[in-house]
Amino acid sequence: MGTATKSIQHLIATHGTAFADTRRSAAEAMELIEAISPDIERHTAAICIYCTGVCCIDRHSHYDLSDRIFLAALGLAVPEYASKTEETAPCRFLGNCGCTLRRSLRPYRCTWFFCAPLLDHIVAQYAPSAYRRFMRTLQAITETRTRMICDFEEAEAKIRGGRRR
């Protein structure tokens, strides 16, 4: 785990009130992610099982800044992993029956990425209104996470500004 992750965790843990909005946005995003997860899994179960070029390679298991803020705001640690896996090797979190992590613990790219065959399957499965609802939920997750990052940056700037005075 990098220093940046530790400092984000420390900042949020030691300034609970200042990061109340960040934590609220993260909790909202987590609820939406877990709510849409069974739907996504229904589609991946039908399509990914036949895939010959599985996209779960190790490069995609990296947690970016927004993932690290998200987990820290929820009081969760970034899942540990050995650092020596090749970027193009199967993802360290990939098990025999798919991803071993709960969806909200995965990097967010693992939730919003749909390859063309998967997306075609999703479109074919839904009536237009249900498809729009599905896409709206994904959009809401992205917007909520974007708000979470803004909340975090605002609170962080206030704290750092306060320290300089």
Q: Which residues bind ligand SF4 (CB under 6 A)?
A: 44, 47-48, 51, 53-56, 60-61, 91, 93-94, 99, 101, 106-107, 110, 115, 117-118
50 or 164: CB nearest ligand SF4: 50
Residue placing its CB nearer to ligand SF4 in the complex, 10 or 62: 62
* Residue nearer to ligand SF4 on the CB measure, 20 or 51: 51
Minimum separation from the CB atom of position 130 to ligand SF4 (A):
20
Q: Which is nearer to ligand SF4, 47 or 159 (CB)?
A: 47
CB of 58 to ligand SF4, least distance (A): 8
Smallest distance, ligand SF4 to C-beta of residue 116, A: 8
Please write down the HEC assignment for all residues of the chain: CCHHHHHHHHHHHHCCCCCHHHHHHHHHHHHHHHHHHHHHHHHHHHHHHHCCCCCCEHHHHCCCHHHHHHHHHCCCCCCCCCCCCCCCCECCCEECCEECCCHHHCCCHHHHCCCHHHHHHHHHHCCHHHHHHHHHHHHHHHHHHHHHHHHHHHHHHHHHHHHHC
